[in-house]
Amino acid sequence: MADKLIYVMYGDDEVLKNSAKKLVSNGVKIAEVYSPFPIHGIDPIIGVKGTRLGIMAFLYGLTGLTLATIGMHYFMVREWKMNVGGKPNFTYAENMLAFIPVSFEFTVLCAAHGMAITYLLLNRTLPGMPAQNPDPRTTDDKFVMEIRLQDQSISESELDELLKNTGFEELEKKVIK
């Protein structure tokens, strides 16, 4: 079934935010907002949930810490008890202090890289990916709201009426099959 995409372009983040508030309070669903920088406060209005990447970072960090501990335990205590000054490493706990720096560094390494890779995959932003912003100016100074007509409970003319006084600069409609 044919759907219609409506792109409403604004010249200011505050104007877009106010417009989004007005539309949402009238039951309009906003599919996406493209902006050159993060618009603070837009997420709750258009229903974007907070990301859980922070939890992922914690889990990656924990993985790093575990790997570092297992590794150092194997290298220094089990496989080859390195004898430094007649004091071999019999247990991990006795030499724990010497293992803290590497444990810390490896935790940070895994947390940072794990999160960064997850972030890029989730965003589908990888080398060679095509740009998907509807207008090249949205990475400069324009802010675009994307509305899918199919998602709405109101008709196209009603939507046009609502958009009329929101202060947009350009409006583009695109039929997709």
Partner 1 sequence: MQKEAAIREPLILGHKTYHDVTEDVCKPIEDKAPRMWYILFTIALIIGLYGVGSICYLLGTGIGVWGLNKTIGWAWDITNFVWWVGIGHAGTLISAVLLLFRQKWRMAINRSAEAMTIFAVFMAGTFPLIHMGRLWVGYWVLPLPNHFGSLWVNFNSPLLWDVFAISTYLSVSLVFWYIGLIPDFATIRDRAKKPVAKRMYSILSFGWSGRAKHWNRFELVSLVLAGLATPLVFSVHSIVSFDFATSVIPGWHTTIFPPYFVAGAVFSGFAMVQTLLLVMRKAMKLEAYIHTKHVEYMNVVIMVTGSIVGTAYITELFISWYSGVEYEAYAFLNRATGPYWWAYWSMMTCNVISPQLMWFRKLRRSLLFTFFISIIVNIGMWFERYVIIVTSIHRDYIPAAWSMHYPSHIDIAVYIGTIGLFFVFFLLFARYFPVLALNEVKTILKGSGQSYKESPDYHKHH
Whether 167 and 15 have beta carbons less than 8 Å apart is answered as yes
Give strand pairing partners of 176: 3
84 is a contact residue toward partner 1 (CB under 8 A): yes
Burial class (CB in 10 A: 0-12, 13-18, 19+), 55: exposed
Q: CA torsion 65→69→70→73, rounded to 10°?
A: 170
**Least Å distance between CB 163 and partner 1?**
18
23 is a contact residue toward partner 1 (CB under 8 A): no
- The C-alpha atoms of residue 46 and residue 34 are separated, in whole angstroms, by 12
Whether 123 and 117 have beta carbons less than 8 Å apart is answered as no
83 is a contact residue toward partner 1 (CB under 8 A): no
177 is a contact residue toward partner 1 (CB under 8 A): no
Which residue, 120 or 156, has its beta carbon nearer to partner 1?
A: 120
Q: Which stretch binds partner 1 (CB under 8 A): 1-9, 52-60, 147-155, 167-175?
A: 52-60
Binding site for partner 1 (CB under 8 A): 13-14, 32-40, 42-43, 46, 48, 50-51, 53-54, 57, 61, 71-72, 75-76, 79-80, 82, 84, 89, 95, 98-99, 101-102, 104-106, 108-109, 111-113, 115-116, 119-120, 122-133, 136-141
